[in-house]
Amino acid sequence: MEAIRTVLAEDDSRLQEAFRDIATDEASIDLLGVASDGEQAVQMAMQFEPQVILMDIQMPRLNGIEATRRIKRALPGVQIVIWTVFGDDQHVFEAIKAGAIGYLLKDSPTLEIIEGIQAAARGESLLHPAVAKRVIQEFQRMRTAVEKAPDLLCELTARETEVLRLLAEGRRNKEIAAQLFLTEKTVKNYISSILYKLQVNSRTEAALKAVQGGLI
């Protein structure tokens, strides 16, 4: 089996050396280079087209989430494993939405890090156990939200539904008011009622409910 062409994106010099040691001792990993910031990670991805990038989140110039997004957009075949000290939900889902295939914490055992890289090279996902449970819970929550969306939309009046449809199309309050022959103040009142009835806190969330419910 050929060694996995790998790039490390990490700004901590001690962790850089620690991973170099891992790569030196592990025949299945061919370390092509080490990037010290997100911009350099993107450049190395373009230069080397590695199979796997082990990506830190908090880095100078460009964070790992945005670097992941840019790399996956340009090189969808490059697999990215997030390697971070963070285990909170926000970073987990931002990384997955950006295109990361795996998510490992930096205190993971060496063997788990190696297995994560090997799994990514095969196109398989390996999540830290503490993270995997959160991912499953979040997707279950999202599925429930989608199932509830049509029911919540039924709470809206016909006029509120019209306002929501226009809002979801990206119209501003002034544009909605002009199209429906209303004042901007009236539109604002409708939107406040819509947010309350849909149990959301922003126009963006309301628009998402409209899409989920098939309004647009």
- Residue ranges of E strands in 56-170: 79-84, 102-105
Supply the pTM of this predicted model: 0.63
- Give me the domains of the chain, ranges plus CATH numbers: 4-134 (3.40.50.2300), 155-212 (1.10.10.10)
H/E stretch holding 6 reads strand 4-9
H/E stretch holding 52 reads strand 52-55
H/E stretch holding 34 reads strand 29-35
Average pLDDT, the chain: 86
CB 152 within 8 A of CB 196: no
- Paired with 52 in beta bridges are 6, 79
Q: What pLDDT score does 138 carry?
A: 64
- 144 has a pLDDT exceeding 90: no
- Our CA angle for 49, 54, 60, nearest 5°, is 95
User: Tens of pLDDT along 25-41?
Assistant: 999 999 999 999 999 99
